[in-house]
């Protein structure tokens, strides 16, 4: 099996737990629009499709643009206050950097908010490239986001690993032909992920680091 030269990470649920911030911003929108709030578990299951995809099932179509404006205005502060780096994330990224492995981000979260998370946890030193769905015509599970990162960095798909936490990530990796590992630290459930046959399904980033010790440069 070819050694890994590049690891592409999803953000939410993979490296960062931003679910409390997302839930707070989501329910702020609901209050502003006079709509019923949703429990954290319901919001968590709706994450992964970008902020428009998050809100669309819960607000009237005519109110979506207004809802997005309210959400985005509130969310910058919520992210800084209520997000945390997931256990094992810092150690894994430090290990990969020490080994000379390139790292990038592929997220359906808008660039502005991805950058807030990356800056909030001082992750800039790890990532050579960050690409988000708002810069593309289609986000995940369309494989374009992974293909563009590979092209930008000059890495063949056989030398890359994509790490996510949901079925949408497993499907994206499958469509791009990129080896994919799914960590069960986000909103994805194992039974939803298995049909897409990812390379590995692991419980934590710590478990993934143990596997990668045999596969990095």
Q: Which domains are present in the chain?
A: 6-17+84-212 (3.40.50.1000), 19-82 (1.10.150.240)
Sequential pLDDT tens for the chain (217 residues):
689 999 999 999 999 999 999 999 999 999 999 999 999 999 998 888 889 999 999 999 999 999 999 999 999 999 999 999 999 999 999 999 999 999 999 999 999 999 999 999 999 999 999 999 999 999 999 999 999 999 999 999 999 999 999 999 999 999 999 999 999 999 889 999 999 999 999 999 999 999 998 887 6
> At 161, phi and psi to the nearest 5?
-135, 130
Residue 163, strand partner residues = 9, 181
Q: Confirm whether pTM is higher than 0.75.
A: yes
């Amino acid at each position: 099996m070819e050694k890994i030269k590049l690891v592409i990470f999803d953000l939410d649920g993979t490296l960062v737990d931003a679910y409390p911030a997302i839930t707070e911003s989501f329910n702020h929108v609901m209050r502003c629009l006079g709509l019923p709030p949703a429990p954290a578990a319901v919001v968590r299951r709706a994450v992964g499709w970008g902020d428009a995809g998050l809100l669309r099932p819960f607000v009237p179509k005519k109110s979506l643009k207004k809802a997005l404006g309210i959400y985005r205005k509130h969310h910058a502060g919520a992210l800084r206050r209520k997000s945390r780096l997931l256990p094992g994330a810092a150690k894994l990224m430090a290990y990969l950097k020490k080994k000379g492995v390139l790292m990038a981000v592929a997220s359906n979260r808008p660039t502005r908010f991805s950058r807030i998370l990356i800056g909030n946890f001082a992750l800039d030193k790890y990532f050579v490239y960050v690409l988000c769905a708002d810069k593309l015509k289609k986000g995940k599970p369309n494989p374009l986001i992974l293909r563009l990162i590979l092209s930008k960095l000059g890495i063949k798909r056989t030398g890359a690993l994509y790490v996510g936490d949901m079925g949408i990530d497993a499907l994206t990796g499958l469509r791009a032909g990129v080896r994919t590992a799914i960590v069960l630290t986000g909103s994805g459930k194992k039974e939803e992920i298995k049909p897409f046959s990812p390379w590995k399904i692991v419980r934590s980033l710590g478990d993934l680091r143990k596997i990668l010790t045999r596969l990095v440069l």
